Structure 1
Amino acid sequence: MSSRRVVLALALSSLRYRAAASLASFVAILIGCGLLIACAGLFETAIVLKAEPQRLSAAPLVVGGSAGFKLPDEESEVVPYAERAVLPEDQVAKISAVQGVGQAVPDVSFATVLLHEGAPAESGASVLSGHGWDSASLGGYKLTEGTAPNTPGQVVLDAATASSAGVHAGSAVDLAVNGQRQSFQVSGVAEPSQTVKAPAFFFSVADAQRFNPHPGTVGLVGVFPANGVDPGDLATKISEQVPSLTVLTGDDRGSAEFLGVSGSQLPLILLAAVFGGMVLVVMALVVSATISLTVRQRQQELALLRATGATPKQVHRMVVMETMAVGALAAVCGAFLGSLLGNWIFSTSGSLGIVPDELSFTQDIIAFAAGIVATLAITFGAAWFAALAAARARPIQALAEAAIPGVKVNAMRRMGALICGAATVLLAATTIFMPADTASAIGGPAVLTGAIGVALLGPEILAWVVDRFGPFVRRVAGRDATLAVINTRARAVAFAAVLTPITLASAVALGNVYSETTAQKAQIAAYAGQLQADAVVSSTAGGFSPDELAQIRSTPGVSTSSPLVTSSGWVEEPYDGNGSDPLRLMGVAAQDQGGTVLATEVTEGSLTELRGNSVALPVSVAENLEVKVGSKIKMRLGDGAQVPVTVVALLDSPSSYASMVLPAELLAAHTTSGLSSQVLVRGGDASAIVSALSDRAKDWPGVTVGDDSALAESFQASADVEALINYLLAVLAIAYAAIAAVNTLAVAVLARRREFGAQRLAGADRGQIRRMLFVEGGIVAVTGLVLGIVISLFTVIPMALTTGEIIPSGPIWVFLAVILAIFLIVWPATALSARLAMRRNAIEAVKMPGQ
């Protein structure tokens, strides 16, 4: 039998006698593999963007406007627009003229909400549920009762909406169309060819044209090929003959129907990339710590093998084979766990609003293969390095080290720790000098580099803590602490494997959460700080009609009122270079004699000129673009329209989260709804204005009136989505680190059965041993917490400084919860492991193999 087979047989047979250590490695690798496969599935979902169409499902092809902004400084990157890119009406005729097109059906969508007793029947933001009856064929809608809406004032409801509202053909209903309350007669009820979750209201052609927020345009065109024409070939012809359009087939049609699908690609890629990178680092640290601990506990066995003639290469190969056997089994099981975790993370992201509900999770063989290969590579690397020291050691030296492991780390680990420490300081220092809106992307990795540094120097750190604070621990914890301090010092190498996940969990939790809460507070304050209002009028019924805006202006006590429109876009000429992170656009009315709703100081120019095609730029943006008041620039707005504008004012806006300000009428014309959903009001007595507007708003559907705090609340929702991504990352990383800490701690305690037996034979009882273990766990837990807090400060403090603060922002309960969680991880795991380790009587325990 060859030496390779002998080593393999020995490796496999030894697994039977090391169930606890093997189980710990198995669990760590299993969860890591599952998380990696889940991340790969999220990344694949972002690339594929599969969203099955619903209302447009009957049309084999869907044609929309431009897919997105092609970045001038990139060869192929296209960033989706924030708003729907519409098509001119004459494009419908061009599409119909393409050979092979059987029918081209235009679709116009506008905000429509069913009212019940004057209020929206369903809470929440309205959707673009109003359409022309001619577009009903795109969803295969068929009348189940009544007739089509042939004259103005008639509407057809989908069957689900009609049933829930209790209406039928011939009934009268109140609808808020583009924010204005109107009465319609239900001419019929229609059923789609397949399930459509969103409500649909179909109007006559005349009404659809009247309600179109963008006259002279259509939102989409559904194309039915002629008999015998392949949809794929026809899509190619349309793209060639009618350029600058997006032609979609199959599941890609869903991105045209659901506006949030294309826009979710970049956030989902970032979520997958950041989380995947974090999991890779955490998994490498956790698996390395677990395997190193199991190898360290076998040092005496490996030394005996060396003493009986085994070569260093054979010992090294045996350890690697053992670990890879466990790793391969864990990776196979991890494939099943990865499918479950991927679906859970994706569904959780959808429920939190991070991704749209219509997007489908995609996870195929590529995702599974990537996760398994990465897992096996990490496992092999961890096993190779863990076995290296034991294999190279001389037999007599190895026997001595097995008795009293040295705490000194080798030069390579010391150099690695030094590099990681320098990287942590460099990342923190770089963050301070960056804008707050981009600082988190640079400062975030400081948590990981700091944790890696601790992992490399773990034994020496624990030894120093015990030497420095051992007397203090003895005074606080009593006589049971004496042996605990000695044990912690002597077993610093083993306890370092527990220290690593504790440090990592606390650093990730505190760093991610508090850097995000600090940035979020600054972001909301910067947005709200650019505006001023005594009252904020908000609509959830599609927006404000011109009549409602006029009534707000005429309300007693109102001196200034301005619709507020928000979107995003770019300065294209000269290009601002913002790429995938476009600038925030804000639309307000021009300054008048009563004042302005803008709170930012005008350093040059005047807001009285903010009319027509004009813009007020933040000073920082103007300086970067080298433009001044009077300069003419070209902007790419949220719907893809290129608009030439004149700079009429420069604003002293915050350097981070600044907004470019345009006339509300100009910006609204290039948003999907075409309306503003908020109106800012100024006057003399704020409470009197709020009261007067509240009385008037009783007749307006879905309209609420609040004070200036509503400005921050309106922006809170979008900021919360970004925060939830970081919270989700933190929770998953902490959970993995916690499981790893429990695993490692259990292995470390269970390996000490002989020691506990000897202590009991010497007169100690079980309670004294448990108290000793609790003190040991407390030393490791406190050390890990302190290190995690220090490491997190390298991310949190620089983030606070970039926002102009010294003290980070965030709830204190998070800090207290992390402390509590660490001790709930360490002490219960210690108690359970101690109970299992002392099940046998003392004499039997002393006879057992182990350290």
Structure 2
Amino acid sequence: MTLVWLAWRTLRRHPGSALGALVTLVAAAAMVGAFWFVIDSAQRARPHVERFAGVPLVVGTGGVAGAIPPELVAAVRELPEVGAAVPEITFPVGPGAGGHGWSSARLTPFRLVAGRPPRAAGEVVVDAARAGTGVGDRLTVESAGVVRAHRVVGVAAAAGPWRHQTALFFTDEHAAALAGRGTGVDALGVYPRPGVGTAALEAAVGRAVAPYEGGGVRVATGAARGLEEGNGMASGSLNAPWFLLGTTVLVATGMVAAAMGLSVRRRGRELAVLRAVGAYPRQLRRMLLAEGLILAAVATAAGIPLGMPVAAVLADRLRGFGTLGTAFELTYRPQPMVWTLAFTVAAALAASLMAVARALRIRPGDALGEAPQEGRRIGRGRLLTGLALAAVATVLSALQLWQLTDFGGETGTLLAQFLMFALVVAAAGLVAPWVVLVAGRLVRGAAGRWSRVGGFLATANVIFNHRRFAGAVGAITLGVTLVGVVTGTQFFYDWRAAARAAEEVSAGHVLLSETGLSQELLRGGAVGLRAMPVTMDGRTTDATVVTGDLTRVLDLPVRGRPLNDLRGGEVALRESLAARNGAVPGTRVRIRFPGSREPAAYTVAAVYPDTPELASLLLPGLDGTAAHLASGPYLRIYTYGEVTHPAALTRQEYVWHKAQENAGRNRVLPYVSVLIALFSLVAAVNSLCLGLLDRGREFVGMRRLGMGRGQVTRTVCWESVLTVVPVLVLALAATVWTVLVCAASEPGGLAALTSFIPFGWLAPLGAGAMLAALAGSGLAVRAAMRDERQALT
């Protein structure tokens, strides 16, 4: 207890020393807690059952349109345990709204509260939640890119909660036409005969479905019915939150260790006194561990409440990314709080142990007699290591620019680029203190002329005591350079996706729509593409089904038969899939479609290059075992001539769309880099401010020499400017280097080089670093002079 009391007294006596470590711990606890809340909510969430709330068992395919064949529907209906089997068709009719056939309304909690059911193609029953719509109104419905007017003949209300969907009901025939379905259905709701329990029904239906399970058909009861509605978490959806959490833990641990180490080093003399008067190393270790526990408790108490609103922001962003579904609901349970406390305590204790290990290496007599060794140069090992890493990065850059080495295809090239980027970031962080030193020498004369007192003294301090600023300089450089390199590279790959689309797409217009595109739009030689999951030789992959002459709208070099000459029973493969399976033109493969009992044999007739325009397989149409699948809607339609459809993009607009699409697929990594950069800036500002708190005697001496308080503060602010600005320039130079290497590797990339430099990311980050450094410097100077005056009096 004595050591705990002493630790508490030490923290009270030196609040400035503890403040930097506490701020870092609070930030770490808040971010870790926020991610834990999101992950815990996602792991504990049960799928919401809404659309299938009125039926105990559902046969589904996980959202594959029309994948349940009519023979399976008939087989389920003939089971003695089945009282009724109701087919379900679902298709989008606008943002957040789904269309269905009226016969499937019994599967839902909806019941008519006004009007009557639909009986003709132009009639619709609406959800009561659709405000301002009643019986007799005209309603415009967009389905598969076609807008049609309907008359509202009924209003239905849900008996239970209905939060994540909006429903419209049409006649069964009209719903099938709007959805573009073939003979298959999307799902099958199954009711038992009187006296048959859910378990017996599930067993019976499971036996009927078993031959189709290889085609993705499955039986769902209970909460699993929500998965068939799309209200559950997709497989692998938590990979991004876990990755972000792991990154946060690693970076936060390093930043906490740096902050705690700096706090302990500021009290080196105090610890030496304790050792000189008889304190054992184990006693000092326990005292510092007690300080860490106190800081961890305070940081957790402050960090968890701060993490709750941060978790809400993170959840919204992850919903926008598509990582979390629209039905995801954030909850705040005790378990993430416990894990956050455990992390904070572990990080604080580990940081305390690392800091005290260094402090205990100093002998009491040496520590009591040592004076601050200002002006010492940083060891040359750091500079030589940074230059060596920069040299290796330069060699890798040259090899990529001149293409002197085969890195093993596109994957090997990406790995080589990633290694180069990592070396550039690390090298910048290591050589940053010398960049500040050189920059100070270069601007010494100009700074002295600009400000004869503050500028002159600040430049002299930065040059003579540049070792003092090394920790802050390295942290800022690492953070800002990482953001610049990652986002700049992302901009380049977005541009490359657009450039490849410009090379491959020769159509004048491309039609795109979130609700798909109807076959009605396939006119005048247009080419339509549909996508679906398939299994080839036992491995799941994606297939593109084409309607029309693909060679008119896509310019792709092909090995084998032209893509417009594929016949029934033939398939084309992309190069990566063909290489992985050892397939060449003439190879026989077996493909199983969703809802099929058996795979069908196909002959590989062509191999085309990897392109985002096409999936791994290309089929000229659906026949044989895939005849039940939907005939639409299309994913994209390529066309020529004048097009007035609102979903049509010109070729130039489509190229820009491809860049945005690529950015959307890779948007997590830039946010990870920004997260690391923010932690780095916190650590850097903390290092700067704690270093200023140690200079109280220096500031008081300036005051006794006649300098005003404002002059002292301006001198320190000049030091911050002379420290931060050079490393921001260094980060920009490293960013330009990496994007230059990328741009020079692609034809025409140099012309767009300036657009790859992420000024929109670097400018606010650099401005934030500068403002934080200036604000922290001003506050630290005031605190240092106040404490020193009290000590002298």
TM-score bracket, normalised by the shorter chain, equals 0.7 to 0.9
Alignment pair present for 1:108 and 2:75: no
Helix, strand or coil for the counterpart of 1:156? Answer: strand
8 Å CA contact 1:327, 1:379 repeated in 2: yes
Task: Give % identity.
Answer: 25
> 1:541: how far off?
6.0
> 1:15: how far off?
0.9
Counterpart of 1:573 in structure 2 is 537
Alignment pair present for 1:829 and 2:776: yes
CA deviations 1:640-688 (Å, max 9, x no partner) are 996644333333556x887546246449989878222543224xxxxxx
> 1:795: how far off?
6.7
Cα distance between partner residues in 2 of 1:247 and 1:438: 42
Helix, strand or coil for the counterpart of 1:62? Answer: strand
Work out the number of aligned pairs and report it: 771
Counterpart of 1:525 in structure 2 is 499
Say which of 677, 681, 685 aligns to 1:738. Answer: 681
Say which of 255, 269, 282 aligns to 2:227. Answer: 255
Cα distance between partner residues in 2 of 1:303 and 1:50: 57
> 1:430: how far off?
12
Helix, strand or coil for the counterpart of 1:168? Answer: coil
AA matched with 1:22: A
8 Å CA contact 1:286, 1:501 repeated in 2: no
**Match runs of 1:677-826 below 5 Å:** 677-682=635-640, 689-690=641-642, 693-694=643-644, 697=645, 703-716=646-659, 718-785=661-728, 788-789=731-732, 805=749, 807=753, 810=756, 812-814=758-760, 815-826=762-773
Alignment pair present for 1:35 and 2:31: yes
Distance 1:252 1:136, change over 3 A: same
AA matched with 2:529: L
Cα distance between partner residues in 2 of 1:158 and 1:337: 39
CA deviations 1:475-515 (Å, max 9, x no partner) are 23115455435544665565333234312320232122112
Helix, strand or coil for the counterpart of 1:87? Answer: coil
Counterpart of 1:199 in structure 2 is 166
Cα distance between partner residues in 2 of 1:7 and 1:196: 56
Gaps (5+ residues) in structure 1?
A: 68-80, 114-124, 554-559, 683-688, 698-702
Say which of 18, 25, 30 aligns to 1:22. Answer: 18
8 Å CA contact 2:184, 2:629 repeated in 1: no
Cα distance between partner residues in 1 of 2:722 and 2:422: 23
Bigger Cα displacement from structure 2, 814-823 vs 139-148: 814-823
> 1:819: how far off?
3.3
**Match runs of 1:293-304 below 5 Å:** 293-304=262-273
Cα distance between partner residues in 2 of 1:524 and 1:352: 21
Alignment pair present for 1:628 and 2:628: no
Distance 1:371 1:808, change over 3 A: farther
**Match runs of 1:267-666 below 5 Å:** 268-351=237-320, 353-361=322-330, 364-401=333-370, 403-404=372-373, 433=407, 462=433, 464-465=434-435, 468-478=438-448, 479=452, 480-488=454-462, 494-538=468-512, 542-546=516-520, 548-549=521-522, 552-553=523-524, 560-565=525-530, 567=531, 569=533, 572-573=536-537, 585-591=543-549, 596-635=552-591, 644-653=601-610, 659-660=615-616, 662-663=618-619, 665-666=621-622
Bigger Cα displacement from structure 2, 190-199 vs 709-718: 709-718
CA deviations 1:166-186 (Å, max 9, x no partner) are 4415x5655455555656554
Counterpart of 2:218 in structure 1 is 246
Distance 1:466 1:640, change over 3 A: farther
Cα distance between partner residues in 2 of 1:830 and 1:653: 54
8 Å CA contact 1:40, 1:363 repeated in 2: no
8 Å CA contact 2:507, 2:552 repeated in 1: no
> 1:818: how far off?
3.6
CA deviations 1:414-439 (Å, max 9, x no partner) are 99999999998999999993766897
Distance 1:774 1:744, change over 3 A: same
8 Å CA contact 1:109, 1:128 repeated in 2: no
Helix, strand or coil for the counterpart of 2:356? Answer: helix
8 Å CA contact 1:533, 1:681 repeated in 2: yes
CA deviations 1:88-120 (Å, max 9, x no partner) are 234345556678766543211234x4xxxxxxx
8 Å CA contact 1:770, 1:834 repeated in 2: yes
8 Å CA contact 2:374, 2:465 repeated in 1: yes
Cα distance between partner residues in 1 of 2:342 and 2:384: 29
Counterpart of 2:403 in structure 1 is none
Q: TM-score, normalised by structure 2?
A: 0.83
Cα distance between partner residues in 2 of 1:85 and 1:632: 27
Bigger Cα displacement from structure 2, 596-605 vs 642-651: 642-651
Distance 1:131 1:707, change over 3 A: same
Cα distance between partner residues in 1 of 2:20 and 2:258: 11
Helix, strand or coil for the counterpart of 2:166? Answer: coil
> 1:597: how far off?
0.8
Cα distance between partner residues in 2 of 1:408 and 1:672: 73
Helix, strand or coil for the counterpart of 1:563? Answer: strand
CA deviations 1:171-208 (Å, max 9, x no partner) are 56554555556565543221122325533222334444
AA matched with 1:648: A
> 1:298: how far off?
0.8
Gaps (5+ residues) in structure 2?
A: 401-405
> 1:252: how far off?
3.9
Q: TM-score, normalised by structure 1?
A: 0.78
Cα distance between partner residues in 2 of 1:507 and 1:383: 29
Aligned CA RMSD, in angstroms, stands at 4.3
Helix, strand or coil for the counterpart of 1:675? Answer: coil
Say which of 48, 54, 68 aligns to 1:52. Answer: 48
CA deviations 1:703-741 (Å, max 9, x no partner) are 444421232244455434224433433444433433443
AA matched with 2:772: I
